[in-house]
Chain A
Amino acid sequence: MELHLILLFMILASVLAVEARDLISSVISLSAVGLGLCLAFLILKAPNLAITQLVVEILCVVVLIRATIKKDLPLVRDGRWFFNTISTALFVVCFLAFASFALKELPNFGEPVMRVSGEYIANSLEKTGLKNIVTAIALNFRSYDALGEAAILFAAIIAVLAITRKTGRINEK
């Protein structure tokens, strides 16, 4: 019941965020959506996710208000749109072709129910010595997943720094 109320609140707030006239009220309604999501995680008994969601939401709201609200950045629309569209379509076709080969080998979706997760729940404390089972799965059983996550974050940092740098190296000389 509470979950449905929160979902209704989130839908209303997101509609308001899209339809609001000025940017500040839109950002505030977006943060209300994030707060509702945090409460929904708490009701569904996932405190780990609730902490992360709340903290990231605060940082996102601060960045949105402080950095992007004063003046919006110019968007580059013209130029090589034809080449970009072609390369994106090519990449999608290649990805789907390789995925169709790879996905044939996997078992059906949800076929042996609780086969892997039952193992995690039963033996995670003895095997890893971790009381927090979420951390046990994220950083011990699936640690390379976390490594890939860190690599994605590092690539994102490098991309932001490359886009927002002051001047190109060639112009300085």
Chain B
Amino acid sequence: MKNNQTGMTLIVKTITRLTVGLILVYGIYIVLQGHISPGGGFAGGVIITLSFVQLMLAFGKDTALKKVNQAKCIFLSGVAAFIFLILAVCGFVTGHSPGFRDGHSTFFSAGLVPFCDIAISVLVGSGLFVIFLALVLLTQEQE
């Protein structure tokens, strides 16, 4: 990330560079631990989106759009919705929630639920980021 003129001041850019990775990792943690401790797909997806929103607010829209652009976000949300639908049809066909069950607090102890969480997080995160991008680009066009 270069220190170009767009975006906010140097202080905000430095703090963003330190914290944005931590926020992203915390969002992924919330998603993957959602079936053991408080959290889940929706909250984790929104935290992942917030890290990209922080990047965009601090460094201007070009830096963030270089990482994730609008078409890629739309593609991701569609794919995640389709995967969630397939998982739901899995349960519909077999009559119960299939998958591995060993122990009570491991990642694979709950069948398909962690994978549902991951699909929901991708859908929510990319979808909310697309909405944010659309609103910001709309206001910038009007000026």
The reply on A66 being an interface residue by CB < 8 A is: yes
Range of interface residues on chain B? 35 or more
Which A residues lie within 8 Å of B38 (CB)? 47-48, 50-51, 132, 134
Closest CB in chain A relative to B89 CB, distance in Å: 10
Range of interface residues on chain A? 35 or more
Is A52 within 8 A of B43, CB to CB?
yes
The reply on B53 being an interface residue by CB < 8 A is: yes
* CB contact list, A85-141 vs B, under 8 A: 125, 128-132, 134-136, 138-140
Which B residues lie within 8 Å of A128 (CB)? 97, 110-111, 113
Could you list 15 examples of A-B contacts with CB < 8 Å? A51-B43, A66-B132, A67-B139, A70-B139, A70-B143, A129-B110, A132-B37, A132-B39, A143-B88, A143-B116, A154-B123, A156-B127, A157-B77, A160-B135, A161-B134
The reply on B124 being an interface residue by CB < 8 A is: yes
Is A130 within 8 A of B35, CB to CB?
yes
Is A66 within 8 A of B57, CB to CB?
yes
Which A residues lie within 8 Å of B135 (CB)? 63, 66-68, 160, 164
6 extra interface residue pairs, beta carbon distance < 8 Å, beyond A48-B43, A67-B139, A71-B142? A59-B49, A128-B111, A132-B38, A151-B81, A154-B77, A164-B137
**Interface of B: prevailing SS:** helix
Which B residues lie within 8 Å of A51 (CB)? 30, 38-39, 43
Which B residues lie within 8 Å of A134 (CB)? 38, 40
